[in-house]
Amino acid sequence: MTVRRDFKESARCRPDLVIGREELYSEAQEQLARGGSVLLHGPAGIGKSTVLRALAAENAGATGTVLRCSATESESHLPFLALADLFGLVLDRVSARLPAAQRTALESALTGRGESTLQRDGLALRLAVLSTLRALAAEGPVLVVADDLQWLDSASAELLGFAARRLGDSPVRMLCAVRTDGEEYDRQLRACPPDTLAVRLGPFSRTQVSALLDHRGYTGLSRSTTRDIHRTSGGNPLFALELGRALAESPARPRPGEPLPVPTSLRALVLSRLEMLSDEARRTLLVASAGARPTLALLHAAGRENAEAETAQAVALGLLATDPEEPALRFAHPLISAALYAEAPAGERRAVHTALSTAASDPIERARHLALAATGPDPEVAARLAGAAALARDRGAPSVAASLGLLAARHTPADGEPGPDARRLRAAEDAITAGEADLARDIAREVLTRATAPAERVRAWMVVIEAAGQALGEVDAVFPQVLADAGDDPRLLALVHYQLAWREVVVDGDFAKSRQEAAHAAELAARGGDRRTELLALAFQSSTETLMGHPDAPATIQRALQEPQDPDVACHHNGAAMARFRWLLMSDRLPEARTAITALLREARRRGMVESEVHFSRLLADTELRFGHCGRALDLARESLRMARDSGIGESASAMLASLAEASGGDVDRALTLAREAADHAEVDGDQLYLSLALAALGYAQSVAGDAQAAVRSLRRVRELEHGMGISDPARGRWQGDLAEALVRVGEVGEAQELIDVTRAHALRLNRASVLAVLDRAEALVRAARGEHQAAHAQLASAQERLGKLGYGLEEARSAFALARLRGRAPGAYDEAARLFRRCRALPWLRQVERAVAAGPTEPETVPAAAPSALDGLAAMERQVAALVMEGATNREIAGRLFISVKTVEATLTRVYRKLGIRSRVDIVRLAAGRRTP
């Protein structure tokens, strides 16, 4: 029992709670805020008590009395114990208000004095509990917090249930938690009020498990290890933390192919049931735990003659789960299998693997068991494992190939050919393909500590650079060393210069130099006979040329598509097919682009190329978004973001695209959050390429949210970044129309027209028809702002028609909306825009239309041009700074909003003072006041 003034909850439970429980927590909190009750349920260790404590802590402040009990299995036979915990310290406050019979019965039950029982004093006790809760509620709201409801003594449960069903409108809420292995919680619901909300807590995703482990300080775990923890724990947060702790305390990590070490605390949860098995049944289950997909046939082949009867024992004890349509045996929880394997002696485990190395039907599985049965170097075992790794690679299972490759390296003699490190590096390259960058980096770093051969060192450095992803700035110091290791070997130098081409774009934002490096890499690779690197370099060269608006781009793409091709490069996210897709997309050939990217995504999934799958899913979402299929794009973008966060690959790019999709077809607030997240990622990584795209997404989301000033600031920064990088093709980010329209809305009509003119010149040169149509839409708004309404109407109608023919459904709808806003009082002006947005499932835009319709007939919208003032003589940056001063922003706030330094703000203000003939910020504010005076 806890009264409000004494109630203190541990604040440390809340950070764990919000990992993966945000939606459930909010749902439960809303129910409690409405005066309702909540029952949390789920299996042991799933986090019920954590959520319960946090909810109780959050609601304690607005509650007059908090009553609490926490039952245990060992005490569940003691009658009225839970009732004593709840009412023991408050009975004195209310006893005088209870009828004598009720008071006597309740005091006897709570103190143990007397012989009060449900059979003898049933009605008096039931009414006493109800009267006590009502008396407490008369003083203020009451919150009953009951944990582990399954262990509540039956007498207390019966009394609470009786009262809960009769409380009516009394301000009494119940917050309970109960352990359930399935969905059954009806019995516990009978102890709660009728309106109780049942909330089931399910397992964590791999991303959530990773976040939980990081929060608890287990930060040194690789993604592959986190994946194993998630699989072994079944997503149970308590189990995951215990496994993470065991790994952190273990002097040696498990070898490839071996299960995780299971700590004693978790073994105890399952070993008691295992002890009830016969010795033979336990050995049979050990064979099943070692098998990748155990079946009765496999157990028989491994020598377990009585497998049916022995597995039936396990099913009866709840150790195995049965499925009539599934021949494979499945442990009731992955932890059971892991604990059983961990408990077995090493010799017994090796014997099991020996049996399975001949019993398993799959060659990959046989090779894995052979390796785990062997000890020490063995050339034959190593060769078998290397062959199995190649087979896994061909099957599209690079993660399996990496694991087998590491096993092959462990069994390869030091003087073997290929050597152990060569096999480790092949495993690292497979890990890169599988999206396990941290594992790959660790392998490569280990090889570099002893490798002396230039080819091995350069190969290892390439893995380190690839593992850095977009954060190439973090490995900048590697390039001088790897160039020295490459010497004058053209094959090795080609690898280095290909990565330098990426570095120039990502770190320095220099497309011209990047193009030169890519061309040089292609030339070196051709000279050295390395067709794979030559194809990658040509593909990258064509991509830079496309973004630069270089006339050689189509020809370079054709060179990259010439035979012979490398099958891995052909479906790689940096390959020629990808470069061709980008060119199709930017050339307004949307149906062909969708066909191309769909084929690439299908092949990447077949081959298990995780990084390519993340990128291709995102790019398919981008393509669907251009078509105006906002719902489909939103689903794809969310899936790409989930995969990116799960694998740690392309998070900035996926967050950026998800922001565009949310702003077009989902939640604008989420779009703003995602765009800022993407920009932050890119800033931290030093990635100018994706920083410009993230800021473009942010500007678009700000426009949809109605914050034109913010959109202008974000998109002006994009313009500066792309100008600095040498990007001239407006089809790359397609932000120019958004900036021009936002400029019109804030009154910067002259700057908008200047931007339109410059962009149109590039779009005409490159034949970017959709960009030209969007620019016409923006120019129509400029004309409307200047009072040229007839010309604006005609230009908007033309832009809408052309965008519709090109297949840009959302842009067509936006043009119809702009036209409707200009028509103003015309009846049904918004009908066409609403129809088109509805067809696109562009919900945020549709809400704008609905608000415009609800506002009623208005004058045709005219965005006022900026009134002449002294500020018109300032440069663009000076005007921006002066405008923010007028809003009352400090120098630091201005620096943050314009992405410049405080010193730059101060220097700019000095120039403003000089040009305007004033002395201080106050004078700027006075100028603003004068400007607003009619």
Q: Which DSSP string do the residues of 851-902 spell out, in sequence order?
A: HHHHT---PPP-PPPPPP-GGGGS-HHHHHHHHHHHTT--HHHHHHHHT--H
Name the one residue in this structure whose structure tokens are 């770093």: 445
Conformation bin of residue 787: beta by default, left when phi > 0, alpha when psi is -120 to 50: left
**Rounded-to-integer distance, Cα 601 and Cα 857, Å:** 48
Name the one residue in this structure whose structure tokens are 């005091």: 107
pLDDT at 742: 94
pLDDT at 878: 75
**pLDDT (tens digit, 9 = 90+) per residue, 709-741?**
999 999 999 999 888 888 888 988 899 999 999
Averaged in consecutive runs of 10 residues, what is the pLDDT profile of the chain (934 residues)? 30 50 85 90 86 88 85 80 86 86 83 60 83 90 90 85 87 90 63 84 84 80 79 85 82 68 75 80 90 88 90 87 75 84 87 91 88 89 92 84 91 91 94 85 92 93 88 85 93 94 85 92 94 93 86 89 86 88 92 95 87 90 95 92 79 91 94 92 78 93 93 93 86 92 92 93 92 95 89 91 95 94 74 92 92 66 44 68 74 66 75 76 65 38
pLDDT at 78: 81
**pLDDT (tens digit, 9 = 90+) per residue, 65-93?**
999 988 888 777 788 888 888 888 888 88
Q: Which residues pair with 321 in a beta bridge?
A: 330
Q: How many CB atoms lie within 10 A of CB 80?
A: 22
pLDDT at 872: 62
Q: What is the pTM of this model?
A: 0.65
- Comparing CA positions, the residue from 860, 862, 879 lying closest to residue 748 is 879
pLDDT at 112: 64
- Comparing CA positions, the residue from 477, 479, 549 lying closest to residue 512 is 549
pLDDT at 257: 59
Q: How many CB atoms lie within 10 A of CB 639?
A: 18
pLDDT at 73: 80
CA distances from 80 to 102, 109, 129, 191 (A): 15, 6, 11, 14
**Rounded-to-integer distance, Cα 164 and Cα 155, Å:** 14
